[in-house]
Amino acid sequence: MKEFKIQPIKNGTVIDHIDSGKALKVIKILGIDENVSSVVSVVMHVQSSKKTYKDIVKVEDRELNPKELDKIALIAPNATINIIRDYEVVKKTKVHPPERVKGIVRCANPNCITNSRTALDTMEPVEPEFIVESVKPMRLRCVYCERELENPEEHLI
């Protein structure tokens, strides 16, 4: 029999196969805080296979936008996105980290043009952009200063 750790939902999005321990980061990416207006369920450290564990986040009555999906792909590259309508999974997709990410993480180099005060004050701000050099482990390189960004999940915008 299929075991549900938490109840199935009627409508919304289930983010499944999140790397164990990352659920709270996913919650943050979705901007879920004390002002949340839909039901959100979080399961952490549920057994996924014999040796692996996963987290699951279920957000009722909401679908995710492309920017949110790109951010989730950066911190949980194994995640699947299940769209639920009337209790059925109507769409299942794996997140796929894009080849380039624009405007979702900030460069850690304080001298990078994307962090430049003068640039911010006097011209159009330069939107941070990175090339995704590898996914496992996640390696991002700044298009502007070419510095590799350590721990991209700490620099989400």
Contacting positions for ligand CTP (CB under 6 A): 4, 8-9, 14, 16, 56, 58, 80, 82, 84, 87, 89, 92
Which residue from 18, 9, 17 is spatially nearest to 40, judged by alpha carbons?
Answer: 9
DSSP 37-80: -S-EEEEEEEE-SSS-EEEEEEEET----HHHHHHHHHH-TT-E
What is the side-by-side strand order in the sheet with 100-102? 100-102, 129-134, 139-142, 148-149
Q: Which does 142 bind (CB under 5 to 8 A by kind): ligand CTP, Zn ion, none?
A: Zn ion
Q: Which does 65 bind (CB under 5 to 8 A by kind): Zn ion, ligand CTP, none?
A: none
* Residue 76 or 132 with smaller CB distance to ligand CTP: 76
CB of 123 to ligand CTP, least distance (A): 46
Which residue from 71, 83, 81, 77 is spatially nearest to 96, judged by alpha carbons?
Answer: 77
Paired tokens of 120: 């911010």
CB of 58 to ligand CTP, least distance (A): 5
CB of 154 to ligand CTP, least distance (A): 28
CB of 145 to Zn ion, least distance (A): 3
Size (the chain), residues:
157
Q: Which does 56 bind (CB under 5 to 8 A by kind): ligand CTP, Zn ion, none?
A: ligand CTP
Rounded Cα distance, 26 and 75, in Å: 8
* Residue 8 or 103 with smaller CB distance to ligand CTP: 8
